[in-house]
Structure 1
Amino acid sequence: MLSDLKRIIDQISRDRGFDKTLLIEAIEEAVQSAARKKFGSRRDMEVRYNEEFGEVEVFQFRIVVEKAEDEQTEISFDEAIKLDPEVQIGDELGEKMLDISDLGRIAAQSAKQVIIHRMKDAEREVIYDMFKDRIGEVVSGIVQRFERGNMIVNLGRTDAILPKDQQIPKRSFKQGDRIRAYLKEVRQTSRDSQLILSRTCDDFLGKLFQLEVPEMAEGIVRVMGVAREPGFRAKIAVSSSEGDVDPVGACVGMKGSRVQNVVQELQGERIDIVTWSPDPAKYVYNALAPAHVSMVMADEDANSLLVVVPNDQLSLAIGRQGQNVRLASKLIGWRIDVKSEQRYNNLQDEGYQSLLKLPGVDESLADQLFGKNIFSTAVLAQKSVDDLIVIRSIDEDFAQRLIDEAKLIPFVAKESTQEEIAPMKEPESGIQAPEVEIEGAVEVPPTNESEVEGTQEAGTVDKAE
């Protein structure tokens, strides 16, 4: 067995990328541990690997004495002189022990465990050095198995783990499928997997576009922001350093080929591609597409935006369960308050403001009161309970409380009617959105829709969600 040791060391070092020295040290440590179990732990032993002969040699060192009383640490002068005629009493004499094949089964098993442990440690170091500089890249592998919801992915040299909370919900893979994921973390020491993957992080979407869009690899088009609700919808903002390169069109590709590749990788996640702008008002105008925006007012101190949209665009701007405006807010990093033109007009009315001062009255209820021609607290104070309970959210007790409270709040102003409310005008501090088509948004369907011819310049408008 030992005659082939040199060949085995060379082969393992080559196949697994180990430094040969690390493997030799592991073998020496293992043999020394086994020899101590076989011959006693008090012996002064030294193990050396003879690379010339491909053998592991075990030496023990004992003190030369006149008459040995402890065989593990002492050797008699008569025995020592047979080994070295020039030896003197008090010298430390080294002696080669028996062949390590005589160590025995238990000692050999112990040596095997030490070697395996050292090899695992060495392999972890190799894997760490190999992947530590690849954090943030997209890696490709094969689905190996599933463990308590976590996915184990074979990357070729080693396995990585895709935790359950980093998987796109309601999207399934089976054993043997090829999968791409974002390398999120590389652990230097870990009993479990060293490599942690993710398919739900925002950076994964940006990296996929970088792989699909040559202009990004050249540095012409850049990803400026990403916001995702994994598995459902995402928004990505892009910009171009060259005026003649449309960043949105570059990401879409001919007939939508580039963006469709990303959509397929994300298994149908809808993607909005918008043009980035340093102006928050213009940026939110693009980010809320396909909804049309009438006016934007920015409060830079509070990092908030008031966005006014046509009445028939409100549900489209907000999106299903607030998804569209939520993603736009995350993309920009500002708080966004979306209001319809009608509600914005109402908020400018003094009578409407007086209604909002009543306990329990919010904008929604104030809108309903306006719909019943109750334009101020002065008008409300003159109404009866029967006049108010026709509104679904008002019962008799609440109606009476509203009337009583309205009588306590004075309102001195010309009573307006719904018809007298002036059309919306842009406040001096407001930022009027330009009356042009939206040039910074593309709504990408998750499945086969009508093909996109050439570069997309205008955002498609979906049905209100």
Structure 2
Amino acid sequence: MPITSANQLELLQTAEAVAREKMIDPGLVVAAMEESLARAAKSRYGAEMDIRVSIDRKTGRATFTRVRTVVEEDAVENYHAQVTPQQAHDIVKAARPAVTVLGAPGARRFLLRAPREEEARRLDPAAQTALPAPGDEIVDEVPPVDMGRIAAQSAKQVILQKVREAERDRQYEQFKDRVGTIVNGIVRREEYGNLIVDVGAGEAVLKRNDKIGREAWRPGDRIRAYVKDVRREPRGPQIFLSRTAPEFMKELFKMEVPEIYEGTIEIKAVARDPGSRAKIAVVSYDNSIDPVGACVGMRGSRVQAVVNELQGEKIDIIPWNADTATFLVNALQPAEVTKVVFDEEAGKIEVVVPEEQLSLAIGRRGQNVRLASQLTGLDIDILTEEEESKRRQAEFDERTRLFMTTLDLDEFFAQLLVAEGFRSVEEVAYVDREELLAIEGVDEETAEELQARARDHIEAQAKAALDRARSLGVEESLIGFPGLTPAMIEALAKEGVKTLEDFATLADWELAGGWTEDAEGKRVKDEGILERFDLSLEEARDMVMSARVALGWVDPEEIAAGGLAEGDEEGAESGPATQAEA
């Protein structure tokens, strides 16, 4: 099909029709046509040539040009698409005066044809004597090609591919900002338990684990879901929906409760057991508005609308409170709580309830306490009053024996220390002297003697730990490393870590512990060598990096500049090899 014999306006008409059908920019379709024509021309003139096609957006005229870039003589790699400055000078001189120069030096285009009237008025006369330099381009027009059957088919494939890419880009741009919102769609089909949902500008996926358990959907059903994620993938943008996400419930309440939409009431936390039960914590920034009552609505109309959308999922609406203990008591409703003990260091909380309230507080299959834990972000232990009393008595007796044994105290004095809140020998040894003097019956001499005994015990333990570590073969380089206590060094030695080089090859999680996946993809807990010493991942990472710096494996300036990733295991593995090679 000779391009010259075709109605040139048909190109533009076709582009507009395709763009209208696919709802994309007509310019993208025209650009795809230009690329397809250029590819067809290369098959005629040679793939090594830089052939470009430009379609006039007004007339539809297709112009075929060959472009040669001017490069330094020793930089020529493709003699069909690149020329040296001397060759460029010869080409331009031979073509004058039918040469048009456009652009600035270093990025000029030397058009080997007589300038059109409108171009001639813009030309700088001084530029007509200019000669090409590296970076400039020489452009000369070539005859249009006759598109045979194969070339036409190839051109069609290029256009279709570009149109598909434009569609994907449009879908991605349309949905990337809708993450975190609710969309309505129509169920099209089910594939391997996943629902394919038509959301207007494309198809979205509702995975099996993002569906509420007892829901059953058929093709043609209308569905409402939360846009959880939008990703670019080779096969096009993937839109992932969810009906189990806590955020879905949050957005539903925002749609049903005007005060939430306006910001007068805020949803502070949501916890769900999808399809069964949920808890939602709300707070009002207007003292005249009851947050719980506003979310429930007149005769429960507002909350019922959300319940109906979630297939009957029971929803507990509770008032949020800045006080953790009060908030937890609310979260455990309808159970009654007697006492709350909060351990800030461990991030755990103990809740004491009457014996008859235990099953209610725990809930069916632990549902109530699990949702309360998700809502507060704390690990919750529920005890009855009797269990709590027994446990505290056992702890009291254990600490009493500890002080009697280690500090050589009688039972009464040891019990006195425990009653005052002392839990370890270290606390006694290094606490401010005034705290000991505040205990009834303890004078200056007694406090001094008590701390001296505690420090002697700690030093004796440290010496014994170092002796055991040395007997296991630990080198002095590890013993003298800052941050490691004798007990830590002994624990490392028992795991075969006996030198500073051994220590430097460890990963942070090997020291502090962490979660990993086994061969079956299940999450398993790895116990860290120093985990029982309350070593955090960040502290472990800093210690390992310091060891690598001390050994010369790592440049401190690289760490300061952020050149090494956190927990860089490659550095740890390559360290000893580098030393050996050196």
TM-score (norm 1): 0.65
Output the CA distance in 2 between the equivalents of 1:215 and 1:205. 16
Report if aligned partners of 1:183, 1:197 keep a CA contact under 8 Å in 2. Answer: yes
**Matching residue of 1:327:** 371
Displacement of 1:8 = 2.7
Question: CA offset at residue 298 of structure 1?
Answer: 2.0
Alignment-derived partner of residue 339 in structure 1: 383
Provide Cα deviations, 1:208-256, integer angstroms capped at 9, x if missing partner.
Answer: 1111110001111101001112222211111000111111111111111
Q: Is the 8 A contact 1:159 1:193 kept in 2?
A: no
Q: Tell me by how many angstroms 1:324 deviates.
A: 0.5
The AA in structure 2 aligned to 1:300 is: E
33, 37, 40: which is aligned to 2:39? 33
SS in 2 for 1:302: coil
Preserved CA contact (<8 Å) 1:274 1:287:
yes
1:315 aligns with 2:353: no
> Secondary structure, in 3 states, of the residue corresponding to 1:298?
strand
Q: Per-residue deviation at 1:61?
A: 8.3
1:211 to 1:32, Cα distance in 2 relative to 1, 3 A = same
Tell me the TM-score normalized by structure 2: 0.53
User: Shift in Å at residue 16 of structure 1?
Assistant: 3.7
Alignment of 1:121-200 (within 5 A): 121-200=165-244
Matches within 5 A, 1:62-73: none
Give the SS at the match of 1:196.
strand
C-alpha distance 46-308 of structure 1, shift in aligned 2 (>3 A): closer
Segment of structure 1 superposing worse, 43-52 or 116-125: 43-52
Give the corresponding residue for 1:97.
143
What's 2:52 paired with?
Answer: 46
Contact 1:60–1:97 (8 Å) recurs in 2: no
Secondary structure of the 1:134 match is coil
Aligned match of 2:304 in 260, 278, 281?
Answer: 260
Deviation at 1:53, TM superposition (A): 2.6
Q: 1:242 aligns with which of 274, 286, 306?
A: 286
Structure 2 CA distance for partners of 1:128 and 1:44, relative to 1, 3 Å: closer
Residue 354 (structure 1) shift: 7.4
In structure 2, the residue matched to 1:10 is: 16
* Contact 2:246–2:271 (8 Å) recurs in 1: yes
What runs of 5+ residues in structure 2 fail to find an aligned partner? 1-5, 69-79, 82-94, 100-110, 114-139, 399-410, 413-418, 422-582
What is the alpha-carbon distance in structure 2 between the residues aligned to residue 340 and residue 61 of structure 1? 85
Q: Distance in 2 between matches of 1:85 and 1:318?
A: 93
User: CA separation in 2, counterparts of 1:113 and 1:17?
Assistant: 19
Taking structure 1 as reference, are residues 150 and 56 closer, same or farther at Cα in structure 2, changes over 3 Å only? farther
Q: Give me the whole-angstrom Cα distance separating, in 1, the residues matched to 2:28 and 2:362.
A: 61
Alignment check: 8 A CA contact 1:144 1:175 kept: yes
Mapped partners of 1:38, 1:116: distance in 2: 22
**CA spacing shift, 1:87–1:236, aligned 2, 3 Å:** closer
Query: Is 1:205 matched with 2:249?
Result: yes
| Cα distance change on mapping 1:274 and 1:190 into 2, 3 Å | farther
- Structure 1 vs Structure 2 CA RMSD: 3.3
Aligned partner of residue 201 in structure 2, secondary structure: coil
Of residues 340, 346, 349, the one that matches 1:296 is: 340
Partners of 2:63 and 2:141 within 8 A in 1: no
Q: Is the 8 A contact 2:172 2:237 kept in 1?
A: no
Q: Do the aligned partners of 2:171 and 2:237 also contact (CA within 8 Å) in 1?
A: no
Deviation at 1:330, TM superposition (A): 1.1
Contact map agreement 1:38 1:103 (CA 8 A) in 2: no
2:420 and 2:61 map into 1 onto residues whose CA distance is 89
**For the residues of structure 2 that align with 1:163 and 1:192, how far apart are their CA atoms?**
17
How big is the shift at 1:43? 5.4
Q: Tell me the residue number matched to 2:579.
A: none
Secondary structure in structure 1 of the residue aligned to 2:312: coil
**Distance in 2 between the 1:32 and 1:163 partners?**
43
The AA in structure 1 aligned to 2:289 is: V
Identity of aligned residues (%): 45
The equivalent residue for 1:376 is none
CA distance in 2, matches of 1:297, 1:45: 78
Deviations 1:337-383 (A, max 9, x none): 11123333444557x9879xxxxxxxxxxxxxxxxxxxxxxxxxxxx
**1:274 Cα deviation after fit:** 0.9
Letter of the 2:16 counterpart: D
- Kindly state the Cα deviation for residue 147 of structure 1 after the two structures are TM-superposed: 2.0
- Post-superposition CA distance 1:153-176 (Å, at most 9, x none): 111111111222222223221111
Q: Distance in 2 between matches of 1:44 and 1:225?
A: 60
Q: 1:38 to 1:336 in 2, by over 3 A?
A: same
Counterpart selection for 2:163 from 116, 119, 143: 119
Structure 1 counterpart SS, 2:177 = helix
Matched residues in 2 for 1:428 and 1:237: separation?
A: 37
Structure having the larger proportion of residues in helix: 2
Q: Deviations over 1:2-39 (max 9, x none)?
A: 54322232233345443332221111001111232345
Flag the 1:87–1:12 CA change in 2: closer, same or farther, 3 A. closer
Give the whole-Å Cα distance in 2 for the aligned partners of 1:61 and 1:279. 73
SS across alignment from 1:195: strand
**Residues in 1 aligned to 2:234 and 2:211: alpha-carbon distance in whole angstroms:** 21
| Most deviating of 6-15 and 195-204 | 6-15
Aligned positions of 1:340-359 closer than 5 A: 340-347=384-391
In the alignment, is the contact (CA less than 8 A) between 1:124 and 1:189 conserved in 2? no
Matches of 1:164 and 1:249 in 2, distance apart?
Answer: 35
Larger RCO of the pair (alpha carbons < 8 Å, separation 6+):
1
8 Å CA contact 1:160–1:193 kept in 2: the answer is no
**Residue 288 of structure 1, CA deviation:** 0.5
Would the alpha carbon gap of residues 428 and 139 (structure 1) be closer, same or farther in structure 2, given more than 3 Å must change? farther
Give me the whole-angstrom Cα distance separating, in 1, the residues matched to 2:10 and 2:197: 35
Q: What does residue range 16-27 of structure 1 map to in structure 2 within 5 Å? A: 16-27=22-33
